[in-house]
Structure 1
Amino acid sequence: MAFDTLRQHKLRSFLTILGVVIGTTTVIVIAAFVSGIDSRVSKEIEAFGTNSVYAFKFEPGFNFNPSMEERTRKPLREEDADAIRSECSSCEFVSPFMSPVDFTAGPFTERVNIRNKEIEMTNATVQGAAADYFRMGVSHLREGRYFTSEEEQRRAEVAVIGIDIANTLFPFSNALDQQIQIEGRNYRVIGVLQEREIFLVGSEDPNNENKAVYLPFKTIKQLYPANEDCFIMATAKPGRLNEALEEIRLILRRQRQVPSGKPDNFGVQTSDEIVKQFGAITSGIFILMVAISSVGLLIGGIGVMNVMLVSVTERTKEIGVRKAIGARKADIITQFLIEAVTLTAFGGVLGILLGVGLSLLIQVILPTYIPLWAPFVGFGVSVSIGLVFGLLPAWKAARLDPIDALRHE
């Protein structure tokens, strides 16, 4: 009987559950987006290894508005990385890392044009690192080789390039041993990196390794002599991560002449700490967005309640007849609750399907991943909305006096 009533008022039923559909869709899309971003960032950071340590001139964490004291700190330098490499007994590999950019504006945001004799490519990035950087297992070669420590020391004009640069500048030939030009200087290509899944598909992701050129650190210093700022990456020997973290901190304090008793004027943290910090941020975003999407569910629930109250008024005589032939209060309550739950459950299913579809479409440009729990939570919440907001109309219908109900016109 409850289902017959819903079938008789298809348009009204659909409009009633629209809020539930929108709310459930939003929950699914947000869960997919946040989970996808979290998973991709974790994968990117963990690619550097779980035994990695990073040193920055800024405090650890995702602080997009550093204090004036942080902004005016002296930069980390190549000499700091050299000191860590020679003195940190628990470190296996150490590399400074630099890109021509003002780090107060965000990492790796400056674009450069790269060309050969005939073709020019825009929106590429140039990054400098020591030979140790490639020993950390961060990047993988498709062909060729990485530059050596000897090439770095003599400032060799050699380059390892991303796959997009190789395909753009040398579409019909092998890129190895070819010349590329950056800022008027020529560099010989000695290696091409494997294609790497990028963070934002179709975007101008500044950290896109496929569009990056890697130069020896001393070579990039020649190319951009005014840019002194860098950060330092290190990998600890197996089982010695905490020891490496403390050693690096003490070495940098000495290098930067931090007085005893004064706080560090730099930041050091492990890759695990970065993953945890980013996870806390995405969790906060998820909670906030779910709270916002719950407004749609609340509106949908109120809509269901109002329509069910109208339905009780329209069907007063029907309720009176049912009571007159023996229907109990529990039967009436069950009927109206089934109607309310059916409405919101149907809205939940539509919302889940729409949310999954939108998430798959968004996947073209954003890293989305639909967690297994999201559809179940979406469906469970929609059913709960029906139960909660269907109680008042059901209780009102059950309390009708059968004699008064039969007299109702």
Structure 2
Amino acid sequence: MSVLETFQLAIKNILSSKMRTFLTMLGIIIGVCAVIVIVGLGNGMQGYIEDSFADMGTDSLTVMIMGRGSSRSVSEEDMYELVEENSEYLKQISPTVTMMGSVKIGSDTLTATSITGISEDYFSMKGYEVVQGRGLQYMDMTDRKKVCVVGQYLNMAYFGGNAVGQTLKINGNTFTIVGVMAQEGSELEEGGTDDCVFVPYSTAARLSYTGTISSYAITVQNTDQISEAKAVVEQKLYQVFSDDDAYTVTSMAELVEEMNSMVNMIIYILAGIAAISLVVGGIGIMNIMLVSVTERTREIGIRKALGAKESAIMRQFVIEAATTSSLGGVLGILLGYGLSALATSVIANVMPDTPITVSPSLLAVVVAFGVSTGIGVVFGYLPAKKAANLNPIDALRYD
């Protein structure tokens, strides 16, 4: 009997008892489906993390300087010089000063609005766009002018879309609005991305009563060389402070990689737990194949009496087990894609601000199908061996 004929016979035997076959495949179906959905969820989370950090700039470094007392410090001029001297790695720099306090517009006091001191290059570094008026300029820094650029939320909610030329107060100091940012967030809301005010960093430092600038944002020339760029900055700061604890240099790209590694670890653990059901399914296949061998003992005896070899008998039952398992794998894959699409829809409705797409990978599908088929072969071997070893005389006498 050829392999094709053996396969056709296996299909015939499977279809002869559909419900029993389905229940046998159920463990395989659940296991494959679970693995595909979990891996798809992991891919979606990775994509969401990368998109989220892309807005912050994966080509940037964040430098925080704690210092070691008044005798050792780094000024903003030193940091600008560092970028100029290492232009093959570093591109732009902007001091950043986070101001604490509130914004007052007319009689309204806003406590959720973020207030940040930046340089004239910050907007180009972050990819922000000014749609009304102008951005901050170099002279605003040197002269410590009290001017600012506001987010679209403040522009629309408090100035009716005409904020340029108007004024607001930051901790009692009057600032003139010279520009309005383009909308960055999906919605204009209090405390959101567009509820912000940007002022010259020199003005922010003076009003915050900080002696020196302690935070910097630096962009790199090439994201492939971000590790080298980070090392250059760390080396310069270590030469000044001789202490690793005096500063921190954080790479957004490295942070994304670390978070992706953590997500992958969790996904692998969950997928491994889900794969246990594949083993359970394999045991179910082995159990039903042993029952099948018992039910077809007389058939096996007739075939062996007619000259069928042990290898042919074994091949028949192994192929039947593998076919059952493979069919369960295909159904599990189809169910996995269906549940992935459903999960994507549910996430979009429940968490509209968290666009996670559950997208199964081709590799996960191929591996899941291969494993399901392999389980059928492995767990079908013992019943097949039992069938092949039957004594034809005893088998013919079996009733």
TM normalised by structure 1 equals: 0.70
Which of 191, 202, 216 is matched with 2:180 structurally?
191
Which of 317, 327, 342 is matched with 2:308 structurally?
327
What's 2:280 paired with?
299
Matches within 5 A, 1:23-38: 23-38=31-46
In the alignment, structure 1 residue 371 sits paired with structure 2 residue 361? yes
What's 2:79 paired with?
84
What's 1:236 paired with?
220
What's 1:273 paired with?
254
Q: Gapped runs of 5+ residues in structure 1?
A: 59-72, 102-111, 199-203
TM superposition shift of 1:294? 1.7
What's 1:128 paired with?
116
What's 2:267 paired with?
286
Q: In the TM superposition, what whole-angstrom CA distance separates every residue of 1:268-307 from its partner, at most 9, and x where no partner exists? A: 2444433433343233233322221221111111111112
TM superposition shift of 1:18? 1.7
**Residues 229, 287 of structure 1: alpha-carbon distance in 2 compared, 3 angstrom cutoff:** farther
**Residues 53, 401 of structure 1: alpha-carbon distance in 2 compared, 3 angstrom cutoff:** same
**Residues 373, 156 of structure 1: alpha-carbon distance in 2 compared, 3 angstrom cutoff:** same
Identity %: 33
In the alignment, structure 1 residue 160 sits paired with structure 2 residue 166? no
**2:179 counterpart letter in structure 1:** I
**Residues 166, 263 of structure 1: alpha-carbon distance in 2 compared, 3 angstrom cutoff:** closer
What's 1:348 paired with?
329
CA contact (8 A) 2:149 2:181 kept: no
Structure 1: how far apart are the matches of 2:255 and 2:268?
20
Q: Which moved more, 1:295-304 or 1:325-334?
A: 325-334
What's 1:95 paired with?
94
TM normalised by structure 2 equals: 0.72
SS at 2:377 equivalent: helix
**1:234 counterpart letter in structure 2:** I
What's 1:213 paired with?
196
Structure 1: how far apart are the matches of 2:110 and 2:374?
55
CA contact (8 A) 1:22 1:351 kept: yes
Q: Gapped runs of 5+ residues in structure 2?
A: 1-8, 349-354
TM superposition shift of 1:243? 6.5
What's 2:233 paired with?
248
SS at 2:358 equivalent: coil
CA RMSD in angstroms comes to: 4.5
Matches within 5 A, 1:136-151: 136-140=125-129, 146-150=135-139
Structure 2: how far apart are the matches of 1:306 and 1:41?
44
What's 1:41 paired with?
49
What's 2:388 paired with?
398
CA contact (8 A) 2:151 2:183 kept: no
SS at 1:216 equivalent: strand
CA contact (8 A) 2:76 2:95 kept: yes
SS at 1:88 equivalent: helix
**Residues 126, 35 of structure 1: alpha-carbon distance in 2 compared, 3 angstrom cutoff:** same
SS at 1:369 equivalent: coil
Structure 1: how far apart are the matches of 2:370 and 2:171?
62
TM superposition shift of 1:142? 6.3
Aligned residues: 365
Q: Which moved more, 1:326-335 or 1:373-382?
A: 326-335
